[in-house]
Every structure is written in structure tokens, then in C-alpha cells.
Structure 1
Amino acid sequence: MTGHGEVRPGFEAVREAFDEVAAATSGGVAFSVFRRGRLVVELCAGSAAPGVPWTRDTHVVLFSGTKGIVATLVAMLTARGQLGPSERVARYWPEFAAAGKADVAVSQVLAHTVGLPYVDADVPMTDNAANAAALAEQSPLWTPGTRVAYHALTYGYLATELIRRVTGQRVGELLHELLAAPHGLDLRLGTPPAVPVATLRRAPGYRISTFLQDEERRRVVERMYRGLLDSTDTMNSPGYRGAELAAGSGVGTATSMARLYDLLLAGSLVPSAVLTQATRTWSEGVDAISDRPLRFGLGFELADPIGTYGADADPGAFGHSGAGGGRHGAWPNRGVSFSFTTNELQAEDVDTRAATLLAALHRAA
């Protein structure tokens, strides 16, 4: 496959890298880049569904790229004085104080150190309220703040309930009101069936948590993901796309995701002091469950030892990746934001697509 779209002068190497990436994908891919407010790369290739070409307007499930959108909303609420990272969760959500969690800080939820990586209760994955209520009653696996482990789905239930408690609004409603409508971003949480979305597929041999070798902890990972990534039936279902799952059911385009991070860099969404607070290190280390090296701000992933945001591209990089290969974020020191989207899920230990693109972008930018 050959990519189609636009690149500004000086970014020709990115097009070459994109063609290489497209050739390594059975499905569709898109890559968009802004530099200081200007769209400099907008490329796509392949198919969104059988017989349907991928275009600049193709929507795709963002999986955990959604977490970066939600982290942005949290930063906006912080700037408004509605939510404080150092405040106790129970200040906003009194029921959360149960089971020894009275002193848990909002930052511990956002930085994945709260110790609630899965839901004990048997409640539907798509029911935000039921999952939040169950987590409020649940005891953490460790003393909050003492370990870091990626909260793949529970981050969303916890963040959604916090947002609802301080605003009285659903998270998808807030996304539309604060981001999508005023800034023309084609992003949704709670996507109606009438909106066309790229059909997701799993590459042969796709698997999650590729750093993990311990079988006992593998069972914990399975509890965390609740079978979501085991079959394309669930992830392609209208029920999943329509759910306002702040951890992973957001839908959008590559250009809108890159523009979101461009707006953050420009100071158009939050003051610089709030963004600095949200993108400094709040937790880091080897994931206590999956063994993956990681580093978090307040809901944002940060530059890490495995080069998620480009090897040495920018030590201040932040954003959020998504299951199967999506990569969205920014290099503040270069004034660059980017988004790579795809509908073919590849395993992390063999997927070089985003790394190839970011390496080419680093050379160009």
C-alpha cells in the first residue's frame, strides 16, 4: 500500500516511512502531525473495512488513547478549580473512603498507583456506575501510592465517577462540550451506531502484556482486561463503541488527536502551569503486574525507558498509547504533536510501526 495525503516540505522522509508502515499493515493506518499550530503531515492508507478505503475522516476506536483525552479533561477541570490532584478522592466521592481508602489522593488514581487494577464484582464491563460503585467498596491490592501498575479499564471507571461528582455531567458529554464542539475535534465517547468506524482486526499472534512471563500474574491481567481484546466481536460491537468508557472506547481521527495535543502545547486548553503539573512524573517504575517499564503524569503517559514516544526525541514527551499500536502525544521542546491510528492490532513486542514513524519525524522536525 502507498499512503495518500499531504506532507509539508521538509517532511518527505515521513512519507517514505509511512509507506513502509502501510506495507507492514493488513488493514488501514493514518499518521498526522502538527508543528506549532500548522498541520505538516496528514497521511493515510489501506482499508477501514472490506472495500472501504481509509481516508482523512476515518474514525477508529482509540482504545487507551482515550485516556489522554480524559487526562486533558481532568487538567481542564483542575484549571477551573473543580478538581485537585492532591485532594482526597473521598472529598468528591465520599463512598470511596470505604475499605481503607479514606486518604487516597486523586493523583494516585490518575497515576495508576491506587491498587485497584480490576473489579472484583461481577458487573457488566460497559456499566460505568456499577463498576465505580464496586471499586468504591473494594480494598486495594497494595497500600495506595506504594506501587505502580497500569489500571487498564479501572482508570476509566474511577476518572468517570470523579468527573461526574465534580461536574454533574457524563464524561462523553463533557468531551463534546469542552473539546469537540469548541475546537472542531472529531472525537467522541459514546459513539452512535450511525457513525461509521473502522473495523478492528487482530494480526496473527496478537497478544497483550508481552513483557510478562509470570503465569500467576497473567491471570491478573486477564481479570483486568475482561476479555475485551480477545475477540474482535466485542471491540467492534455497537455496545462497546457506544459506551462512554474513559479507559478505552473513545473514537476519533488521527488528525483530531494530533490537534488535541497541539492545542495543549499552544496553551489553548489549560494554562502552562497546569500542563506542567499534569506532565511531570507522578509515578514510574516497572509495572507490578505486567513487568513493563512505565512512567505516568496525571493520566498522561510520559517518555519512558523503552522509547514509547521516540528514542531520545524529547525527554518531556507526553501522550497516551493504545492497544494494538495506536500512539498519540506531543514533543513540547519541538512544538510537535502527532497521532498514529490503525485498525490492525499488532503485539507490542513485534509492532515497529509507530516507532518507525516517530524516528522519521524526529529527523524531520
Structure 2
Amino acid sequence: MNYPLTLDMDLMNYNLEDMYKELGNYSDSTESPVVENHLCSMVEGPVLASFKAVFMPVAYGFIFLLGMMGNILVLVILERHRQTRSSTETFLFHLAVADLLLVFILPFAVVEGSLGWLLGTFLCKTVIALHKVNFYCSSLLLACIAVDRYLAIVHAVHAYRHRRLLSIHITCATIWLVSCLFALPEILFAKVSQPHHNDSLPRCTFSQENRAETNAWFTSRFLYHLGGFLLPMLVMGWCYVGVVHRLCQAQRRPQRQKAVRVAILVTSVFFLCWSPYHVVIFLDTLVRLKTVGYGCELNGYLSVAITMSEFLGLAHCCLNPMLYTFAGVKFRSDLSRLLTKLGCAGPASLCQLLPSWRKSSLSESENATSLTTF
């Protein structure tokens, strides 16, 4: 039942207990609002059903293969330079691990979109938690990269190598721990919801059947919007504005500029991939709080928007290796040598793929510092 937004007596008598009861009726595969009756379930129409049944398996399969191969290559290349790895490269190593974890849950999303969730509660909790851990890790690691570049360039902060590496490893461990803590509501309250209609499917969803579960859902949404996206993006924006301003004032240092360029590029792609999903999810949060009106038509649009924008966000897990390859001179050199060693390519084959690459020879990348490895 929907309630008007005008402040009449009926709304004044509408208490929190009623709201919790209604929120408990929501159910969806990831984040989308629930359909209250069979008529609303028909609003999604054939577009979303076709997307989940036809386009999603093909697209997610492509992302899975590309993301798995790309991120494994990144890990192998960075691991080969473990002793000389910079602080930024250490953060990128953990970012690749997080993206690889997200890649492994894509087949589960494909199966659920086509057949419903058939794998039990344990895997349901695991998959949803990994989804959240990946996002928190990615945003927090990118924020750390921004802070690291800011301190190194704007304030010229340098430390002894062994002490600096120790602090970086502690920071990365803390990020993983915080990400797991932020995903705790999903671990505790995710479950398999049973179909409400003959044409619906079981879904892996966040349970909201009582007050405690609804409070946990609100907490999860609050952490997702604020701690996982807004605050990290503000930190990144502040740091990179300071870095760019400093570089514009100082003499040009190509190696340092290349490192900052790739870091800003990776951050920008993360923002472009995940910001649409956060806008839609924020609107969905307002709908569930009844801050904006709710109806079958809006539910249908939200379901489609959430599915499409989530697809864009998940596609981010395969983009970072491409960015390193296109923008990182030394990374291309390391990748070319690795493929040559494996017998997959000639020494200069990567440089021949694009005309712009021919301008930067392998000898240039040999002389590059570790800042341009990525």
C-alpha cells in the first residue's frame, strides 16, 4: 500500500512499525525495489527479461574472460618486480586482487538472472559480500593512491624504503579489514527469497523481514553511499587538484607526470563506471524511505536502471588492465617481455598494435622508473 507525501492526518498516524512491515515486503536479486503485486511485476516487461536471459550471459562471459586474463597478467607483472615495487604499484596489486574476486562472481550473476538463485544460502552470502568487498576495496585503494601521490608530489614526503613499505602493507591490510566489516550486514542478513508468483524466480537478496534486518539494510546503504563512494571521491578530487596545481607550478618531470596521469585516468574510469549505479541506488533508497512517490511505473524504470547501471559497474573489473596497457609505458614493456618469454608474441609486437605506441620505444620504457610501471 502506498501513502501520499502530503502531511495529512493519515500520514501523521503512520508509524515506524508500519514502515518496517512494508519494507520487509521488498525483495530483489541485488538492490532493486520489490514489486508489491503481480501487476507491478509485469511492468519490467520483456526488455529487462531479454537483457538478463540473452545479453547478460554473453556480455558477462566476455567480461569474465577479459577480466580474469587481464588482472592475472597485472598480478604476474607486478609480482615479478616485488622487490622494487613502488607504493602505488602495491596499491594497484591489491586493486587487481579485488577485481579478480569480482570477476569470479560474474558467472553466479548470469545464472541468477536466467534461472534464479539455486545455490543455497551460504553461496548467496558469499557472492553478495564479495561484491561489496570489491567495491569498498577499489574505492579505498584509489583514495590511498591519490593520498600517496599528493604527499609525494605536493609535500615531497619521503621515507626510508623498508619503513614506507611496511606502512603501505599495513594500510592495505586495514583496507581489506574495513571492507569486510562494511560488508558484514550482507554476510549476516543475505538469504534466498522464495518466489511470490508462478512466473518469478528465487533470488539472492538482503532480507528485510523485521526491524533489525531493516535497520541493517539502512546501515548498509548508508555505508555504501557515504563510506564507499562519496567520501573516497572527495578525497581523490581534493588530492588530484592539489597534485595538478603543483605540477603546473613546478618544472616538468615526465616520469612523475606519467604516473599521475595514469592514476587520474584509473580514478576517472572508476567514477564513470560506478557513479550511474550510485545515483540510481540513491533514488531507490529515497523510494524505499517513501521520500519520493512509489508506483508500478517507477518500479519498472528503477529495475531496468539498476540492472543496466550495475552491469556498467561490474564491467569496471576488466578495464584497469587495459588502462595500464594503453597508458603505462613500462607496463607495456614488461607485458611484451612476459608474452615473449611465454612464446605468445614477439619483442615489439605490443608496440606495433597502435601507431601511437611506435613513438615510445622499448628503450624508453627500460629507463623509466617504477612510477611508470603501471
TM-score range, shorter chain: under 0.3
Q: Would you tell me which structure has more helix in proportion to its own residues? A: 2
Q: What's the TM-score once normalised by structure 2's chain length?
A: 0.26
Q: What's the TM-score once normalised by structure 1's chain length?
A: 0.26
Q: Would you tell me which structure has more strand in proportion to its own residues? A: 1
Larger Rg: 2
